[in-house]
Chains A and B, each alone.
Chain A
Amino acid sequence: MSSKEIFIPIIHDAGAQYEVIREISAGLEEEGVPYRVLQRTTRNLGDLPSPLQVVIGVHDNGTVSVSHEKVKGTPYLEYSWKHARRLGKNAARLVKGLPLHLPERG
């Protein structure tokens, strides 16, 4: 990762579905924020360096998450795979400082 480039890393476990990653990417693209997809362990994503301080995780357990460098411990956002597009969108909006579109309960 060159420190001069600006993007949000999408880190996924080996078992992540392609469709989930595609939807996250679409959410980021719609908001105009660059991203890069990487496969490696999705543990402790908040400790991973990211040019925009935000890291997206696609987990084997069926969830997607957004971790922020400055928020230690649990991810700032965590949804099920079916809200992948929304998660990508919200990760971008978090970077842009715009209100998030939270999924309805359930």
Chain B
Amino acid sequence: MGKRIVAGVDIGNSSTEVAIAIIEGGQMQFLAQHLVKTTGVKGTVENVRGIRFALQEAAGKAGLTVSQIDLIRLNDAVPVIGDLAMDLISETIITESSMIGHNPDSPGGAGLGVGTTIGIEQLLDMDTARTDDAYIVVIGKGFDFEWAAGRINLAMSRGASVTGAIVQKDDGVLIHNRLQHKIPIVDEVSLIEKVPLNKKAAVEVALPGHVIRTLSNPYGLSTVFSLTPDETIQIAPVAKALVGNRSAVVIRTAQGEVVERKIEAGRMILIGTQNRLEVSVNDGADAIMDAYERLGSVTDVQGETGTNVGGMLSGLRQDLAELTGQTPGEISISDFLAVDAVIPSSISGSMAGELAMESGVALASMVKTDKSSIHRVARSLEQELGIAIEVGGVEAEMAIRGALTTPGTRKPIVILDMGGGSTDAAMMDASGNITSTHLAGAGDMVTMLINSELALGDKELAEKIKKNPLGKVLSLFHMQLEDGTMLFSEAPFPPHTFGRVVIRGEDGLTPLPTRVSMEKIREIRRSAKRRVFVTNVLRALKRIVPTRNVKHLSFVVMVGGSALDFEIPQMVTEELGKYGIVAGFANIRGTEGPRNAVATGLVLSSIKNGGAT
């Protein structure tokens, strides 16, 4: 038997990995490996482009050309595809009333002012006519601060009572410094044209480092606007939305009323093999997952039509149908993970684009698909490269074979494959029998949660936050890291990072556009990872342990992209430590870390299968 060159190719949801080895006289030596982003949806012919590129790169590293490869072994990609959705479980709608819960960097003055809104240009016309009224002056960006301050001083000297100001430009302190009688001023109100004139309004500014107390208190609002108990109940959401601000404006319009409308979140119907359970989405993710656990396994999940969850599940069904080429009716959800989430929604009536954070639920779900798709990929690849292709082995078995090359492991072994789209677990007992499970929810869901909870609207940025630690640039030369230590830099930090929370990635520093503190971002990042991975790891392990008791496991090895994460493996290790399990991430072939397990397993199994034919 001569020498043969074998390549293993693992097509995952997010990445495609290749390993190349030379087999000579029953001896195997790994030459190279490579990883690329999966092109197209896993299991479709579009994958071929990525595979070919990965093969070229790996062959190049080994000093070979692709045509020298004798055999390519593809994983029998597990035919499950996942998708994500999230929606509000309640929504606050504020109508016919305007408020600005606004935190400019430098508002002017301090205190509470109540009065009728009036444009600065009308101020002198009005005061002589009705000297009893108090005014809140509205100053658009066309007016200079010195002129505006002079005008207010003049009006006050003629006996008018001006109790506060709303300013479009960043002029709050400048105007305040020029006033003879000090008033609270809220500035940087970008949508000032939305401020209605001749309406009763209140302006409140707190001292630096303090928060407003009157407008964030429902009874404070009822005092200011002389509200009845019924009206106070209606305006309570406004107070709630203003909690924690340093400054705010509340304007009451004539028909002003505030309505908190709860959109029916709906019920989820979990269909099992024997029975079905209904659970209200309003009860939150824990209640949904409890119901799932009581049911054991699902054959499908449905949402009450005409509700939020109904829309969410039919959207998922639609997406999955498109991905798999089936009709929405054929799709049956084989697993799902529900996670509590915070979802930003814009406040109607806001005047500087503020967002309110509302509670919601995020769902990851998974369907089984047409199993033969991998053979189409194999045929297409074979035609293109002219190299023999073999679809080898079950993915779980390949992953375990690869994982067993980690120094210090032996059967029985459990692997956790934490990828982008799904969390998979497989167990090989002492005699080599394998059980495996595939669960919805993994790295992509973490990204979705981070994106939503920081209101980024930028998936790539959320992905970066997920993968890298943070820092805060405190001065030209030093940065605080998220563990509290300080980093000194010999070169000054560039202006676009100064004073900001930054992502410390391999390609340098990326400043974040949000004002959220480093501690809070870190907390959201870690909590998203915990909510998805710790939950799913426990779920996965319970399913594969014959006794259904996680405590009966001893060795757990993590593989897959998310096992490369700088904190997910530690979280899992810590959690499983509570059950007395030794858990850690793999080191495939002693060199590759948690990557390349399946590709390595595919190559290894070629020799055990007899290899050459």
Hey, which chain A residues are within 8 Å of B477, CB to CB? 70
A31 at the interface (CB under 8 A from B): yes
Interface string of A68-102 (1 = CB under 8 A from B): 10110000110000000000011001100111101
Hey, which chain B residues are within 8 Å of A34, CB to CB? none
A29 close to B499 (CB less than 8 A): no
A71 close to B498 (CB less than 8 A): no
B121 at the interface (CB under 8 A from A): no
B476 at the interface (CB under 8 A from A): yes
In the complex, residue of chain B having the shortest beta-carbon distance to the beta carbon of A68: B476
Closest chain-A Cβ to B477's Cβ sits at a distance in Å of 7
B498 close to A99 (CB less than 8 A): yes
A97 close to B474 (CB less than 8 A): yes
Closest chain-A Cβ to B177's Cβ sits at a distance in Å of 7
A 18-71 contacts with B by CB, 8 A: 26, 29-32, 68, 70-71
Interface string of B171-183 (1 = CB under 8 A from A): 1111001000000
B105 close to A98 (CB less than 8 A): yes
A100 close to B499 (CB less than 8 A): yes
User: Once the chains are docked, how many angstroms separate the CA of A100 from the CA of B477?
Assistant: 16
Return the contact of A31 from the options B106, B475, B498 (Cβ within 8 A): B106
Return the contact of B499 from the options A68, A77, A97 (Cβ within 8 A): A97
Hey, which chain B residues are within 8 Å of A76, CB to CB? 476, 492, 495
B500 at the interface (CB under 8 A from A): yes
In the complex, residue of chain B having the shortest beta-carbon distance to the beta carbon of A89: B170
Among B106, B173, B177, B498, residue most surrounded by chain A Cβ atoms (within 10 Å): B498
User: Once the chains are docked, how many angstroms separate the CA of A90 from the CA of B500?
Assistant: 13
B496 at the interface (CB under 8 A from A): yes
B173 close to A32 (CB less than 8 A): yes
B585 at the interface (CB under 8 A from A): no
The verdict on A70 contacting B492 (CB below 8 Å), with A29-B173, A32-B173 known, is yes
B533 at the interface (CB under 8 A from A): no
B 476-508 contacts with A by CB, 8 A: 476-477, 492, 495-496, 498-500
A29 close to B496 (CB less than 8 A): no
A98 close to B495 (CB less than 8 A): no
A30 close to B498 (CB less than 8 A): no
B174 close to A29 (CB less than 8 A): yes
B336 at the interface (CB under 8 A from A): no
Hey, which chain A residues are within 8 Å of B500, CB to CB? 99
Hey, which chain B residues are within 8 Å of A29, CB to CB? 173-174, 177
B135 at the interface (CB under 8 A from A): no
B292 at the interface (CB under 8 A from A): no
Interface string of B210-246 (1 = CB under 8 A from A): 0000000000000000000000000000000000000
B106 close to A26 (CB less than 8 A): no
Among B105, B474, B475, residue most surrounded by chain A Cβ atoms (within 10 Å): B105
Hey, which chain B residues are within 8 Å of A94, CB to CB? 476, 498
User: Once the chains are docked, how many angstroms separate the CA of A77 from the CA of B492?
Assistant: 12
Closest chain-A Cβ to B187's Cβ sits at a distance in Å of 9
A30 close to B106 (CB less than 8 A): yes
A77 close to B106 (CB less than 8 A): no
Hey, which chain A residues are within 8 Å of B105, CB to CB? 31, 98
B499 close to A99 (CB less than 8 A): yes
The verdict on A30 contacting B174 (CB below 8 Å), with A70-B476, A100-B499 known, is yes
B476 close to A71 (CB less than 8 A): yes
Return the contact of B475 from the options A26, A32, A77, A97 (Cβ within 8 A): A97
Among B170, B475, B500, residue most surrounded by chain A Cβ atoms (within 10 Å): B170
Hey, which chain A residues are within 8 Å of B177, CB to CB? 29
B 434-487 contacts with A by CB, 8 A: 474-477
User: Once the chains are docked, how many angstroms separate the CA of A32 from the CA of B492?
Assistant: 25
Hey, which chain A residues are within 8 Å of B475, CB to CB? 97
Hey, which chain A residues are within 8 Å of B145, CB to CB? 26
The verdict on A30 contacting B476 (CB below 8 Å), with A70-B492, A93-B499, A94-B498 known, is no
Hey, which chain B residues are within 8 Å of A98, CB to CB? 105, 499
User: Once the chains are docked, how many angstroms separate the CA of A68 from the CA of B498?
Assistant: 13
Among A30, A68, A89, residue most surrounded by chain B Cβ atoms (within 10 Å): A30
User: Once the chains are docked, how many angstroms separate the CA of A29 from the CA of B495?
Assistant: 21
Hey, which chain B residues are within 8 Å of A77, CB to CB? 495
Hey, which chain B residues are within 8 Å of A102, CB to CB? 495-496
User: Once the chains are docked, how many angstroms separate the CA of A94 from the CA of B498?
Assistant: 8
B498 close to A100 (CB less than 8 A): yes
User: Once the chains are docked, how many angstroms separate the CA of A98 from the CA of B500?
Assistant: 7
The verdict on A30 contacting B173 (CB below 8 Å), with A70-B476, A97-B475 known, is yes
Among B106, B177, B474, residue most surrounded by chain A Cβ atoms (within 10 Å): B106
Hey, which chain A residues are within 8 Å of B170, CB to CB? 30, 89
Closest chain-A Cβ to B566's Cβ sits at a distance in Å of 25
User: Once the chains are docked, how many angstroms separate the CA of A68 from the CA of B145?
Assistant: 29
Hey, which chain B residues are within 8 Å of A97, CB to CB? 474-475, 499
Among A29, A70, A97, A99, residue most surrounded by chain B Cβ atoms (within 10 Å): A99
Closest chain-A Cβ to B104's Cβ sits at a distance in Å of 10
User: Once the chains are docked, how many angstroms separate the CA of A32 from the CA of B172?
Assistant: 11
B174 close to A26 (CB less than 8 A): yes
Closest chain-B Cβ to A101's Cβ sits at a distance in Å of 9
User: Once the chains are docked, how many angstroms separate the CA of A94 from the CA of B499?
Assistant: 8
User: Once the chains are docked, how many angstroms separate the CA of A80 from the CA of B157?
Assistant: 40
Extra 7 A-B pairs, beta carbons < 8 Å, given A97-B474, A100-B499: A30-B106, A68-B476, A76-B495, A94-B498, A98-B105, A98-B499, A99-B499
Would you give 9 A-B contacts (Cβ < 8 Å), ordered by A? A29-B173, A29-B174, A29-B177, A30-B172, A31-B106, A70-B492, A76-B495, A89-B170, A97-B474
Which B residues are closer than 8 A to A by beta carbons? 105-106, 145, 170-174, 177, 474-477, 492, 495-496, 498-500, 511
- Which 4 residue pairs spanning A and B have beta carbons closest together? A99-B499, A99-B500, A30-B173, A98-B499
